[in-house]
Structure 1
Amino acid sequence: MKHVSSSITGYEDKLVEFDQHARATIQRYQTGNSAFIDPDIPVNDLSNTSFPKESLIRLRDSSLPIDECLMAITCLIGVWFLDCSHGGGIIFP
């Protein structure tokens, strides 16, 4: 995300940091026609990610570019929240 509108000090940097983490995670799970972050896989089996299990999201259409995947996630959730106690993730309000 190039620009983040936020009236809360410090949240812009956290959202940008989370955006970078999300991109890296999506890229890690992109293989051929299958890009997914699967909530059914135990967290211990998801190497190199700090997302808590409740925040993992399945990306059903792997043909979308990463920017569009992130936009779709943003639209579905509305707002990204960081859960610092879990090392970052998407928290459903």
Structure 2
Amino acid sequence: MRQIKFIAAAAAAALISTVGIAAEPAEQSFTHEGHTYVYTQTARDNGKTLIEGHEVGSREKFRLLVDGDRVRGTSNGYPVSFRAKGSVIASAAAAN
């Protein structure tokens, strides 16, 4: 269950915290349930957003591709797929 909550938090934090995406993605961070994560976010030409990062102090990595209201990818080597909430999508669209 922690894994699912983290994935949703990662996608939300990445998409909400971005005002604009530079050509060279800057590393950002967020904390969720006492765990700190760092990530980069890159806008793709096809309108998708790639979020890649890891948990600080561990080997847990994640790679998420946001396409419209769908988020797919891997977290700690496991495949994940879920529908993002409307407010997250609106924030992502405004950031791009």
Give TM class, smaller chain. 0.3 to 0.5
TM-score of the aligned structures, taking structure 2 as reference length: 0.34
Structure 1 or 2: larger helix share?
1
Structure 1 or 2: larger strand share?
2
TM-score of the aligned structures, taking structure 1 as reference length: 0.35
